[in-house]
Amino acid sequence: MALIDNIDEIKKHNSALTNDLEIETLQSFIDDAINFKLIAAIGFEQYNALIGLKETGTDKEKRAVYLAQKAVTGFTVYNYSDNGSVQLTAAGILVPRSEKMLPASDKKLIQLRKSNARSAFAALELLVTFLEDNTNDFPLYAASNERKENRSLLINTSSEFQKAGVQIGSDAQLYQTLRVYQSNAEETYIIPTLSEAIADVLKTKILTKSLTDPEKALLRKIQKPLAAYTMYEAIPYLPISIDSTGIFELSETVGGVSGNVENRNAATEKRLSAAMNGYYIRAEQELETLRKYLKEHAADFSYTAPQDVLLNDGSISNIYIL
């Protein structure tokens, strides 16, 4: 038994697949989705346990299997769309073609890859959130290092990021990219304001799901400047693609045939600068609100407010520091 045993289990999550497609054709892409995405998110032990729960599991366990299959299906189709129409033969690398059906256009492939990647990341985030909300039912996940990584920051899902006031369309794929920049934003802007001690307490209680009501309120205050600072940190790098061949500016076009592709131009430096400035101003405003909140509720969090330094106190005549 495997997480996905037959083509019908894939068709349940993507009805575009035809009946003549065999599971063996997709197997290598399924394996890649499981190895590089699913196991990386929930851990090998929990993945193995899900396989055995397909038929005998409780409603919650079957729900987890369903979400895991949905995520794997999305990543499988995403990977297959690059290589599925290509056949490696002794005569060379060929693309099948018939009188009735032609290979999909570049535009259709772009749309297919996008929609399946978005669906896959959304299902994977739903699965992780579901396991998180039901850790008593999934002790293997609860004890895993993957869970610690999934809940290691002060914002941990696309939904939380969206609620913090930054519009990302609740895009789980985009949020996975933003987490790298969020980690840096926490270290650079948020933790110096909070203190390491308070940040550690909050992160520990996020993991143990033991936040008190005052701590939940504080976390909401923290998340607003954190989300804005994350975007400020990310914007200069989001339009850039880096791989082993070099560094490139992202521009979505294929083949130069505008009627066959969805064209999107990279934002200008002026637009990027304006966006960065807007996020930075908002972040600074929200951070000042957080400072005031910490001072007003210092006793709740063992917070010691820094003393104000009055430079122009009149002790030095005729000298004013601006």
The 10s digit of each residue's pLDDT in 136-164 is: 999 999 999 999 999 999 999 999 999 99
Mean pLDDT of the 298-314 span: 74
Q: 68 vs 4, 93, 163, 271, 295, CA distance in Å?
A: 10, 33, 25, 39, 44
The 10s digit of each residue's pLDDT in 169-197 is: 999 999 999 999 999 999 999 999 999 99
Rg (CA), the chain: 25
- pLDDT > 70 fraction of the chain, expressed in percent and rounded: 83
What does the pLDDT read at residue 244? 80
Mean pLDDT of the 63-92 span: 84
Q: Measured between alpha carbons, how far is 284 from 185 in angstroms, rounded to an integer?
A: 12
Q: Measured between alpha carbons, how far is 139 from 114 in angstroms, rounded to an integer?
A: 34
Structure letter (DSSP) for residue 57: -
The encoded tokens of residue 234 equal: 């990310």
C-alpha torsion 184→190→195→196, nearest 10? -30
The 10s digit of each residue's pLDDT in 257-266 is: 555 555 566 7
The encoded tokens of residue 16 equal: 């575009």
What does the pLDDT read at residue 103? 67
Where are the chain's structural domains?
1-88+95-147, 151-301
Say whether 298 sits in a helix, a strand or coil.
helix
